Amino acid sequence: MIRLIGIDVDGTLLDSRGQMPPANIDAIREAVETGIHVALVTGRSYPFVRPIADQLPSSITLIVSNGAVERGMDGSTLARRLLDRDVARAVLHSTRPFRHAAALVFDRDADRQVIFETMDWEHPGRKAYWSRNQSLIAQSVPLEDALIEDPIQVMFNGGVETMRSLVEALREDARAFAVSLTEYVQRDFSLIDVTAPSATKGRALAWRAGQLGLARDEVMAVGDNFNDLEMLEFAGLPVVMENSVAGLKERGWATTGHHDRAGLADAIRRFALAR
């Protein structure tokens, strides 16, 4: 029996327009009503996912920033796994040629949540983010001066091939941090999140299961991108979206429909509620 479902947001819960299909809302409500705990597990930070979650039952939890922070719908913090500021400083030093693509993200609900140095916000992959969230974004030159507290993560974004090269270099020296990659090949845009070693979607979902006293075979996870990989590997029942990156669909896991056709709702009803 499935008693916990971890759900990715972009590409899974939301469609390609960034909207939540009504069928997904209904399926999540049905799951909660049957006693299943639902956690949104996303690379977004709390302020950027909270408005989405308002459409869902108040009992869900929000595992944000790829597992670095977990909060309840009332805003209470259930867990924080921050990146040591000295480690963040070392990462910035070793990746200086990518400073134009780098930012620091902090666990703050108001201004100065995202700090950049030289990032071009006119870039097509960043422009919409800037227009929606510029009140939370600030500049620091040099970026290291913003490290007055431990951040959630060092974030990089840019073209797919450029970010693939960077993630390989980061993973060669990833002893004091975790690295996650999210790719949008059709848009030629990727995100890299450098977080604390314990701050991954998989470890955060495992912690949530432990808090609920659940075994892995009672956990289902649904995702579509590389940053969902560890979460899917942990779950006793991993489900990948039809629109997933090829690297997930090749794993032989259960699959569901496209995010533009409420594939998440189908997965919940077929794999969780039907049981």
What is the domain-level CATH number for residue 212?
A: 3.40.50.1000
Q: Give the integer Cα–Cα distance in Å for 122 and 72.
A: 34
Same domain, 66 and 91: no
Same domain, 176 and 116: yes
Same domain, 191 and 89: yes
Is the pLDDT at 133 greater than 90? The verdict is no
Same domain, 123 and 89: yes
Same domain, 32 and 67: yes
Q: Give the integer Cα–Cα distance in Å for 42 and 40.
A: 6
Same domain, 237 and 186: no
Is the pLDDT at 174 greater than 90? The verdict is no
**The token pair that represents 264 in the structure block:** 């998440």
Q: Give the integer Cα–Cα distance in Å for 203 and 191.
A: 20
Same domain, 151 and 226: no
Task: Return all residues near 28 (Cβ < 8 A) that are at least 6 apart.
Answer: 7, 38, 56, 57, 60, 268
The domain spanning residue 132 has which CATH number? 3.30.1240.10
Same domain, 60 and 147: no
Residue-number span of the structural domain to which 105 is assigned:
85-195
Q: pLDDT tens, 229-247?
A: 999 999 999 999 999 999 9
Same domain, 55 and 91: no
Same domain, 18 and 106: no
Quick one: pLDDT at residue 132? 84
Predicted model pTM: 0.91
Question: What size, in residues, is the chain?
Answer: 275
Same domain, 186 and 161: yes
Domain boundary among 155, 179, 195: 195
Q: What are phi and psi of 224, to 5 degrees?
A: -140, -5
Domain boundary among 162, 195, 228: 195
Domain boundary among 142, 162, 195: 195
Confidence band (pLDDT; 50, 70, 90) for 275? low
- Give me the mean pLDDT over the 199-216 stretch: 97
- Give me the mean pLDDT over the 12-38 stretch: 97
Same domain, 72 and 204: yes
What total number of domains does the chain contain? 2
